[in-house]
Structure 1
Amino acid sequence: MDTDPVHLPSLTTATEKEHALRAWLRETTSLVIALSGGVDSSYLAFIAHQELGHAALAVTGRSPSLAAVERADVTRFVTRYGLRHAFLETHELDNPAYAANPIDRCYFCKTELFRQLWSLAKQQGIPLVCDGTNADDLAEVRPGRRAAGEQAVASPLAQFGFTKADIRERTRHWELPTADKPASPCLASRIPHGQPVTIGKLTAIERGEAALRALGFREFRLRHHDRLARVEVARQELPRALDPAMAAQLVAALKPLGFAFVTLDLEGFRSGSLNDAAVHNANLEELSERHPL
């Protein structure tokens, strides 16, 4: 089955792309879909279920890096639409290369996930494993894509040219609850690269973000800098976070989790801020080597 985008007809609208995706799915006998619970993989799992029924198996990796709120969202989604679904235990934290939290940490996580998915697929005689990568993702540096390539994991949304905007458009058309869901990468993404990923840190992050959610914040991250908690909230929510009464509630909620200091990032929430910091630090190190004091 040829899904190389070079050989695909020109697909302009999100509707055209969905029609092509459905035709491709109908040609498959069965497949496993890596369902993270985000808008992309949820859309793919939904459409695959419409076309293939229980021949489409959605699987979610379960580990300490997946927050309980995300597990609950996945459970509600698959139950609501009757998807065939399974949680699968993954053990990326057992890998020292992952726990060391290098810049390509996601590669080791995805390698473990895809290995588990292929093992399950082979046990059930399923010939294809897919993920929810979209066309916009291909323009970004994503170490997990290397793992997908190494393990022959298909990315039909990317192959048929679905952008994030396309996926949100079709998700709204089908009135899926994920239509406006903010991106929510794994809990380990809140820990700066080079600082080890531990169960204790993941637990503190999960509990801290649960507290932020309970306080009414919608889009945020709790960045774990050892004894310092750096809170990012969406810019439109910053005035509320800066209110002295709310600031006191944030401190009261986060300090018991092991943080000595609680800070609010005045730049607000931005996805991948720790990656930007890693690049900035690397540039400073290079500059220092060129111009030592």
Structure 2
Amino acid sequence: MSQEKLSALKKIIADYKSVIVAFSGGVDSTFLAKVAYDVLGDKAIAVTADSPSLARSELENAKKLVKQIGIKHLIISTNELNDENYKKNPTNRCYYCKRELYVKLVELSTQINDAINKKNNYHKENNFPNINCILNGLNYDDRSDHRPGNQAATEFQIKSPLLDAQLTKQEIRELSKQFSLPTFDKPAMPCLSSRIQFNTLITVEKLQQVEKAEEYLRSFGLYDIRVRHLGSTARIEADIDSLKIIQNNEDKIIEKITSFGFQSVEFAEYKRGSLLQIAV
């Protein structure tokens, strides 16, 4: 069944003729970038949005992945933290983030297309194609998730070919493994802002606290973890096996995490969407 869906995906992408892929380096966007490049070659461009909410390790990972795939890669800056609606961190925060992303991607595609029409040096030097549409990595399972960003995708007419081909997350992981993509078993890595308690202000300082804490925890071989920013408290969430490793190193972990500016540290089993349950 997944091979039939893959064929359907290739047909969908081929009909687009030329695309920008919104590329985060996660499971879905990496798979999409790979298929888009296989189908369209140089008529596919991966674009990564860089901002304080993106961990530096994730940006470096994205750079490595595009080199493996072979797709042309651009990094643009987004300024969601300049939007007061985003900074207030409401439960629909992702809408404002995605709106900023899609505004910038539409601007980029317009810039590329205008350059081609004017036949100026920008196009000649970079060999960009005329962009017909922008793609995101929304998959078939995402229909039932809490995803306010989908509204922004609809407003900006962003295409979701994985969804249209009815590819589930598990199928994408299986196909990614067949393609030898290292993301086939990568845990979900949402942006750093997703760690900050809803309806409390998002700041660069808080984002950096979370990033430093999670980077430190990865030094213990822990990857599917979250450091929730609950004001003065850092809540470390992980699966049971990871919590055992944390427990064995609890004193040094607490000492290190508090050195990043937290006053206390607590531990809990990881539950997706846990901050929604305590939104104030």
TM-score for the superposition, normalised by structure 1: 0.88
Alpha-carbon offset, residue 226 of structure 1: 1.2
Q: For residue 6 of structure 1, what is the aligned residue in structure 2?
A: none
Q: Residue 256 of structure 1: which of 256, 259, 262 is its match?
A: 259
| Structure 1 residues 63-212: aligned runs within 5 Å | 63-125=51-113, 126-212=131-217
Question: Hey, what's the Cα distance between the residues in 2 that align with 1:16 and 1:139?
Answer: 23
After superposition, what is the alpha-carbon deviation per residue over 1:183-202, rounded to whole angstroms, capped at 9, x for unaligned?
Answer: 00000000010110000000
Q: For residue 291 of structure 1, what is the aligned residue in structure 2?
A: none
Question: Hey, what's the Cα distance between the residues in 1 that align with 2:224 and 2:12?
Answer: 35
| Cα RMSD, aligned residues only | 1.0
After superposition, what is the alpha-carbon deviation per residue over 1:218-248, rounded to whole angstroms, capped at 9, x for unaligned?
Answer: 21000011111110111222222122xx001
Alpha-carbon offset, residue 93 of structure 1: 0.2
Q: For residue 43 of structure 1, what is the aligned residue in structure 2?
A: 31
Q: For residue 216 of structure 1, what is the aligned residue in structure 2?
A: 221
Q: Secondary structure at the match of 1:178?
A: helix
Q: For residue 284 of structure 1, what is the aligned residue in structure 2?
A: none
Q: For residue 4 of structure 1, what is the aligned residue in structure 2?
A: none
Q: Is the 8 A contact 2:227 2:235 kept in 1?
A: yes
Alpha-carbon offset, residue 162 of structure 1: 0.6
Question: Hey, what's the Cα distance between the residues in 1 that align with 2:73 and 2:42?
Answer: 9
After superposition, what is the alpha-carbon deviation per residue over 1:110-142, rounded to whole angstroms, capped at 9, x for unaligned?
Answer: 000001001111222212011000011011221
Q: Which AA in structure 2 matches 1:209? A: E
Q: Secondary structure at the match of 2:146?
A: coil
TM-score for the superposition, normalised by structure 2: 0.92
Question: Hey, what's the Cα distance between the residues in 1 that align with 2:42 and 2:271?
Answer: 38
Q: Is the 8 A contact 2:13 2:161 kept in 1?
A: no
Superposition misfits of 4+ residues, deviation over 3 angstroms:
none
Q: Secondary structure at the match of 2:234?
A: strand
Q: Which AA in structure 1 matches 2:185? A: D
Q: Secondary structure at the match of 1:124?
A: helix
Q: Which AA in structure 2 matches 1:127? A: N
Question: Hey, what's the Cα distance between the residues in 2 that align with 1:221 and 1:57?
Answer: 31
Q: Secondary structure at the match of 2:143?
A: helix
Q: Which AA in structure 2 matches 1:28? A: Y
Q: Which AA in structure 1 matches 2:274? A: S
Question: Hey, what's the Cα distance between the residues in 1 that align with 2:189 and 2:5?
Answer: 25
Matched, 1:275 2:263: no
Q: Which AA in structure 2 matches 1:247? A: E
Alpha-carbon offset, residue 26 of structure 1: 1.9
Q: Secondary structure at the match of 1:179?
A: helix
Alpha-carbon offset, residue 27 of structure 1: 2.2
Q: What stretches of structure 1 of length at least 5 have no aligned partner?
A: 1-12, 282-293
Q: What stretches of structure 2 of length at least 5 have no aligned partner?
A: 114-130
